[in-house]
Amino acid sequence: MITIADGKCGVWDVHGYPPIFSPKSRDYDQVIPGRHGEYPFDSDYESRQFTLRLVSPRTTDKETYRHQLFAMFPLTVIDLVFETLHHYVILDGQIDCTDLPYHVDATIPLRMCDPYAYSDEHTQAGGLIENLGNVECLPIIEIGASTNPSVTFGSVTLAWTGIVGAGETLIIDCDKKTVKKGTTNCLKDYTGGFPSIPPKATEQQSYSVEMGMAWGYGNTVSITSASTINVRWKDRFI
């Protein structure tokens, strides 16, 4: 992870925060032979590019600085944190270093592998779940030991038929759209879909999450214990 804080990126000064422009959207549609018009299936955002400009006082030769930068920005996905948000980026071109009399100026072209920026992960045992980002985010819901557990998520009920034993966790991943206990696929016994948490534009758009556990005599008891349900999410920004 590389963190930009107080205008610095490691030993380098950041020459202004890079502007990250809104991404272009990409639509997926299909023309059906013999039918009029197009059928929209889905849409998403394209990757985004931005450039970091770094400045360092000149104390050694330019190549030393260049090798230092390649070590900081290898050809792998990097978690770049600035303004408290996580941006998952990869090097998108050549690192250019300009050797000036009193400093070295470096230009780092980057591409965001994921067009979204994320906050640190939040964890909460039910209650009021709020997404402080500006677009919807997709939670992970973890359910502990229970029989036929259900979760009331806003106006949607998520339910799984089966037993979550002691020491086991049923994990509903709304991003990957999976339901698992360990490596076991539990999707066939699950109902309710994979809801998202809308951005907090109004108080009505906050979601309240409760855990319901069916007992032998059919009652449903509201559970908010962290040992029974755990909701994890990251605020998401575009």
**pTM as predicted:** 0.75
Share of the chain above pLDDT 90, in %: 25
Bigger pLDDT: 76 vs 26: 76
Q: Which residue has the higher pLDDT, 20 or 68?
A: 68
Average pLDDT, the chain: 79
Over residues 173-195, the mean pLDDT reads 93
The pLDDT of residue 42: 56
Structure-model confidence comparison of residues 224 and 181, the more confident one: 181
Cβ-contact 80, 112 below 8 angstroms: no
Closest alpha carbon to 50 in 13, 12, 88, 5: 88
Instruction: Spell out a b/e string for 31-59, using b for 16 or more CB atoms within 10 Å of the CB, else e.
Output: eeeeeeeeeeeeeebeebbbebbbbbeee
Q: Is the model's pLDDT at 224 over the cut of 60?
A: no
Domains and CATH numbers, the chain: 2-115 (2.40.30.200), 120-237 (2.60.120.860)
Higher pLDDT, 55 or 102: 55
**Residue 96: pLDDT band with limits 50, 70, 90:** confident
**Do the Cβ atoms of 148 and 159 come closer than 8 Å?**
yes
- The alpha carbon dihedral of 169, 175, 176, 178 has a sign of positive
Angle (nearest 5°) at CA 223 between 217 and 227: 115
pLDDT digits (tens, 9 = 90+) for 119-174: 999 998 877 778 888 888 898 999 999 888 888 877 778 899 999 998 899 999 99
pLDDT at position 47 = 81
With cut-offs at 50, 70 and 90, classify the pLDDT of residue 37.
low
pLDDT at 155: 73
pLDDT of residue 36: 63
pLDDT surpassing 60 at residue 208: no
**Contact 141/151 with Cβ under 8 angstroms?**
yes
Q: What is the pLDDT of residue 226?
A: 35
